[in-house]
Amino acid sequence: MLGSRLGLITLSAVSLFLFTTAALADQIRLNNGDILTGDIVRKDTKVLELNTSYAGKINIAWKEIASIHIEKPTQVMLTDDSIVKAIITPTADGQSALKVEGQDKASAINLAQIKFINPTPIESGIGILWSGNVNLSGAMTKGNADNAQLRLAGETIARSKQNRLTMGAVANRAESNSQNIEENLRLYTQYDHYFSDRWYVYGNASFEYDPFRDINLRSRIGTGAGYSVYKTEETTLDLELGVSYIDTDFDTADDEQTAAGRWALRYNQKLFGGNVIAFHNHELLFGLEDINDSLLFTQTGLRFPIYAHINASTQLNVDYAKTPAPGRKSTDTTLLFGVDYGW
């Protein structure tokens, strides 16, 4: 008898625990009647992301959702750009009750009035979103230097709704038979200010040291305008057009100062559900006074996930100077294989 009672109590406790756990989960009902449970991570303009115990994170088209039920206070941005922390309970298809934290009564809203759930700083206009990566690579180089080398590169981006600041550095060093055969360093930064959803103006600067290309210091400042052709979770594409002033202090050749037009492209594409990232960047500086002063820099590659924020990477860089210093080649081609940490 005692054993039966203990078994009944245990079963009741387990059932209560499972019921409570299920009750605390967020719930989504689709237009076809299917019900999904889990934790709502966020919603952007078209997709809601749900973290489930049975399938991990899944994306659901917002237009396919009939109702949502969020049990815990969650940050919600409405179409009037107001941001509240609230519990959402369904009342009818396409309609919900919004219970704002700190208020006694819930207000009725349509699902169409929910612009974002857990919006990013870019979407909400509040705070700064930081991203970036650090890459350590080995390389085979053909051009002014034929050798094996190590490359360390890092970049960080601070992004708000209207502003973006990019800062980075790239350093290469190589030795052969205990002799230094390659050494270069480049520092760069760019500030972008968005005056519309896609258009922005920019100012940038870079500083480069490369004795194997006879460069003691190449300094460059520039300004121009850019346009974000794509800015989705899967695809980003920025195009830029502007002008730059380039001051090059050569070691043996005559120093040069020149004005140049600038054309740049930055492209990132997530492949295979976001597991692989393809990227291509290029920057063309064409001499406004003499086309022979033109420079071209390109980077093309792939990043493959290894674990958490760690990726394997492969990258092909091409640096081209239409008129190199005397005794130097026009093109340096570098093939890189490395490990990348991103955030």
Q: What's the mean pLDDT when you consider all of the chain? A: 87
Q: Comparing C-alpha atoms, which of 93, 41, 88 is closest to residue 63?
A: 93
CA distance 155 to 301: 16
CA distance 49 to 43: 6
CA distance 22 to 88: 16
Mean pLDDT computed over 96-113:
89
Helix H or strand E encompassing 193: strand 179-194
Is it the case that residue 4 has pLDDT exceeding 90?
A: no
CA distance 332 to 143: 5
Mean pLDDT computed over 315-333:
90
CA distance 152 to 305: 19
| pLDDT tens-place string over residues 124-182 | 888 888 999 999 987 666 666 666 778 899 999 999 989 999 999 999 888 776 677 77
pLDDT-derived band at 56 (thresholds 50, 70, 90) equals: confident
Residue type, 57: K
76 CB contacts (<8 Å, ≥6 apart)?
83, 84, 85, 86, 88, 98, 114, 116, 117
Domains of the chain are: 15-119 (no CATH), 129-342 (2.40.160.40)
| pLDDT tens-place string over residues 144-155 | 666 677 889 999
Is it the case that residue 316 has pLDDT exceeding 50?
A: yes
pTM assigned to the model: 0.73
CB 240 within 8 A of CB 202: yes
